[in-house]
Amino acid sequence: MEFSTQGDLRIIDKPQQVTLGPHQSTSIRTGLKLVSSEAGLIFASINFENTAGITQGYMITNEIQIDLVEFIYPEEIKIEEFRQLWSKYEWENKVIVNTPIEYIICEVYYNLLGILLNLSK
């Protein structure tokens, strides 16, 4: 079985190969990594061959939609523990901006001037 994803999902573990006889079944598990809270899709194909190993085929499965919101449940937690867990995650992408300070001062000045002019109307 081969997995592929669409969206912000990544396959962590490639499932091991399984040989099944007639009328046998098995369960296969794999790990996923969510990169964001956006929904994603998982696609799978089942590759097979006959007992002689001559004829190969595959079967495409229906996609599975994964939405992170479906797996979030309310939970009680102490504020200290929450802060400790929260500090482990970096929630925003940091971008370094090199801008002259004069530009920032002018932007702030014009924004404040616009607000003051709107207030005086």
Reference 10, options 57, 74, 66; nearest CA is: 66
Rg (CA), the chain: 26
**SS3 (DSSP) at 100:** coil
Q: CA torsion angle for 87, 69, 72, 14 (degrees, to 10)?
A: -80
pLDDT band at residue 112 using 50, 70 and 90 as cut-offs: confident
Total residue length of the chain? 121
pLDDT, mean of residues 36-54: 74
The answer to whether the pTM exceeds 0.85 is no
**pLDDT tens readout for residues 65-79:** 777 777 777 888 898
**pLDDT tens readout for residues 2-24:** 777 777 777 777 777 777 777 88
Q: Where are the beta strands (DSSP E) in 1-121?
A: 2-6, 9-11, 32-34, 40-49, 56-60, 64-66
